[in-house]
């Protein structure tokens, strides 16, 4: 299966795996699953780190993609076409631009989004599949 992980799932996987439920841990640890990270998550982490809204344990945002790849995850590419077409996905109630792009990335990449965030349920009508 092909999965895209939400930003909080990436951070928890790297820094606090105890916050992941057993189902998600098994999905991420299964080498048969294709676990992807969106560049949107990298951007969100870098921005929140810069604004001092996020502290990282013993590293800086630049190091996270390599750490994730060491754990068997890969970076899912985003091109201009994907970004430019994101207007097709209706905005949900809280209008978080990071969540909007993650949802669109997952839909267009035919990936299931691993997230604990219930706000993504609003995107299910547009074809988003989520799991927690």
Phi-psi region of 114 (alpha: psi -120 to 50; beta: other; left: phi over 0): beta
Helical H segments across the chain, by residue range: 7-15, 22-29, 39-50, 64-70, 80-84, 97-108
User: Which two three-digit tokens encode residue 118?
Assistant: 């219930």
- The dihedrals phi and psi of 114, each to the nearest 5 degrees, come to -90, 115
Tens of pLDDT, residues 9-52: 999 999 999 999 999 999 999 999 999 999 999 999 999 999 99
- 91: three-class secondary structure by DSSP: coil
Residue 75 has pLDDT above 90, yes or no: yes
Distance from chain centroid for Cα 79: 16
Q: For the chain, what is the domain count? A: 1
Average pLDDT taken over every residue of the chain? 95
Confidence of residue 91 (pLDDT cuts 50, 70, 90): confident
Confidence of residue 77 (pLDDT cuts 50, 70, 90): confident
Helices 39-50 and 97-108 pack at an angle, to 10 degrees, of 170
Note down the domain range covering 58: 2-131
Domain CATH for 63? 3.40.50.1010
Find out whether 99 and 119 touch, Cβ atoms under 8 Å: yes
Euclidean distance between CA atoms 113 and 105, whole angstroms: 9
């Amino acid at each position: 299966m092909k999965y895209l992980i939400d930003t909080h799932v990436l951070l928890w996987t790297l820094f606090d795996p105890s916050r992941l439920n057993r189902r998600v841990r098994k999905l991420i640890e299964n080498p048969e699953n294709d676990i992807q990270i969106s560049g949107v998550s990298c951007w969100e982490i870098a921005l929140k780190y810069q604004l001092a809204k996020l502290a990282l344990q013993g590293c800086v945002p630049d190091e996270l993609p390599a750490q994730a790849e060491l754990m068997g995850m890969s970076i899912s590419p985003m091109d201009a076409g994907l970004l430019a077409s994101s207007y097709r996905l209706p905005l949900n109630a809280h209008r978080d631009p990071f969540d909007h792009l993650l949802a669109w990335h997952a839909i267009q990449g035919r990936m299931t989004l691993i997230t604990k965030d219930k706000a993504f349920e609003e995107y299910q009508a547009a074809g988003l599949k989520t799991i927690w």
